[in-house]
């Protein structure tokens, strides 16, 4: 599957501390997505868990394709004396194997999705108010 056929996603930090992605299309566990950062850094990742979804947006936990090959070799124990460590790896493979660097953060970027949505709605309301004020002024003084 080429990169153009993949669903585009943006990286996001999940509440459990792992990295995942947010898509604007429905996805399923096992799907491969193309994650694109604001700096246009891109990589493929496999959906390992759907954290939240509605009809359009999905927030998912992912495993990057770069970390798949080491993960495959770590599924087989290197030494039989570490069964507890292997069990921990199987319970949370993304946290152990995920070596993808975090996307850059700045203070200007909203840290919460709801804050970003509220800011966008407030900006639209301000623009609408300016338009309505101009229309009322025009109706009062139709020179």
Residue 32 pLDDT level (bands cut at 50, 70, 90): very high
> Would the pLDDT of 14 be above 80?
yes
The predicted structure's pLDDT at residue 24: 92
Most confident of 76-80, 85-89, 115-119: 115-119
Q: Taking 50 as the threshold, does the pLDDT of residue 75 lie above it?
A: no
Residue 10 clears pLDDT 90, i.e. is over it: yes
Whether CATH 2.40.30 fits 3-75+83-106 = yes
- Of 41, 36, 32, 89, nearest in space to 65 by CA: 32
**pLDDT grade for 70, boundaries at 50, 70 and 90:** very low
pLDDT at 8: 92
Q: Please give the pLDDT value at position 109.
A: 53
- Asked if the model's pLDDT at residue 82 lies above 70, the reply is no
- Say what the pLDDT of residue 107 is: 54
**The pLDDT value given to residue 48:** 92
DSSP 20-81: EEEESS---TT-EEEEE-TT--EEEEEEEEEEEE-SS-EEEEEEEGGGHHHHHHHTS-SSTT
> What pLDDT does 69 receive?
43
Q: Which helix (H) or strand (E) holds 118?
A: helix 113-140
Whose tokens are 């394709």? That residue is 65
């Amino acid at each position: 599957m080429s990169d153009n056929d993949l669903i585009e996603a943006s990286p996001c930090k999940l509440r459990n501390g792992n990295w995942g992605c947010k898509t604007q299309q429905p996805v399923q566990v096992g799907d491969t997505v193309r994650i694109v950062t604001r700096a246009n850094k891109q990589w493929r990742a496999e959906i390992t868990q759907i954290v939240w979804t509605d009809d359009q947006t999905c927030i998912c936990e992912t495993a990057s394709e770069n970390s798949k090959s080491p993960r495959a070799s770590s599924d087989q124990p290197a030494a039989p004396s570490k069964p507890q460590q292997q069990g921990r790896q199987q319970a949370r493979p993304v946290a152990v194997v995920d070596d993808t660097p975090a996307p850059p953060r700045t203070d200007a970027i909203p840290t919460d999705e709801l804050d970003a949505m509220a800011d966008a709605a407030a900006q639209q309301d301000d623009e609408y108010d300016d338009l309505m004020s101009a229309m009322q002024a025009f109706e009062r003084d139709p020179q």
